[in-house]
Structure formats: structure tokens, C-alpha cells
């Protein structure tokens, strides 16, 4: 909902108030709490070089993980938008536990390896076998 609608003011009045207070709600600036590392750019250049020119016969993977994702499904289907009516989504959902995802991208072939784990317990930790794995191959763009 727009700020003007929430406050009952006209959009131009909201603009004047924000301008007078030097507030810019449309601007967001990120920040980090870590200290600057003087070696960061040198290490980043080494990683980029490894991706661009891997050693002969080497397997170079870029790996990432997303842990403790809530596995949930909606209780009712989404009603698609129609002329004059917005799309309608139900806010309620059914919980199916937690899942963790790990993916590895082979930077040379474009192959993506994916593994998932169910809720983190002693029996399903990443050190044990994943609950499912899959492989998909992406074609590399021609250069």
C-alpha cells in the first residue's frame, strides 16, 4: 500500500514532507560489520583466475549451500489475476519440516550437482547420505 494511501495525504503532500525531512525511502544502502581485509582483492583475483583458466585435468567446483529452508506448501491454490482483480494467494500453509540444499557447479562443463537433506538431525546431517541427489547439465554460452 502506498504511503499516501496509508496516511490519507495526497501523493504530492507526502513527497513534500519526505523532501523537507530529507528522507528517501526508495534508497537502501547495504553495510558490512566485518573489517576490511587487505588481501581480499588478491584472493578474489586468484579465484576468478581459477574459474577462467583451471589447471589441466583439474575439477573446479563452485559450491554453495542453503540450510534450514522451511519446506511448506499452500493450503489453497493461488487464484490467478483476472481483469479488474489482482492475483489472490492464501497466506496459510502446511509445514513439511526443514530441508537443506547443497549445489556444486562444475565451472568447466556447466554441470550442476544438487543434493538435499531433510531436517537436521544426527541421522540426516550433511555427513550422512543426502535424501535426494540430482544432476542437470547446462549448456555453456558460446564465446
**pLDDT tens-digit series, residues 41-50:** 899 999 999 9
Residue bearing the bigger pLDDT, 138 or 4:
4
Whole-prediction pTM value?
0.46
The per-residue pLDDT for range 16-42, each reduced to its tens digit, is 998 998 888 888 877 767 777 889 889
Report how many helices (DSSP H) and strands (DSSP E) the chain contains, helices first.
Answer: 3, 4
Mean pLDDT of 102-118: 86
Mean pLDDT of 123-133: 53
- Residue whose C-alpha is closest to residue 102's, from 121, 117, 119, 115: 115
30 contact partners, CB below 8 Å, separation of at least 6: none
Question: In 120-130, which positions are buried (b, 16+ CB within 10 angstroms) versus exposed (e)?
Answer: eeeebeeeeeb
Amino acid at each position: 500500500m502506498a504511503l499516501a494511501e496509508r496516511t490519507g495525504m495526497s501523493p504530492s503532500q507526502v513527497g513534500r514532507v519526505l523532501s523537507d525531512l530529507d528522507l528517501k525511502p526508495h534508497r537502501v544502502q547495504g553495510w558490512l560489520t566485518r573489517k576490511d581485509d587487505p588481501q581480499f582483492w588478491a584472493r578474489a583475483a586468484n579465484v576468478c583466475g581459477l574459474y577462467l583458466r583451471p589447471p589441466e585435468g583439474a575439477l573446479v567446483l563452485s559450491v554453495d549451500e542453503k540450510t534450514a529452508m522451511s519446506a511448506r506448501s499452500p493450503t489453497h491454490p493461488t487464484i490467478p489475476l483476472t481483469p479488474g482483480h489482482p492475483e489472490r494467494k492464501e497466506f496459510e500453509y502446511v509445514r513439511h519440516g526443514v530441508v537443506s540444499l547443497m549445489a556444486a557447479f562444475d565451472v568447466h562443463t556447466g554441470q550442476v550437482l544438487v543434493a538435499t537433506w531433510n531436517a537436521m538431525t544426527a541421522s540426516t546431517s550433511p555427513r550422512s547420505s543426502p535424501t535426494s541427489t540430482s544432476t542437470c547439465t547446462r549448456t555453456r554460452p558460446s564465446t
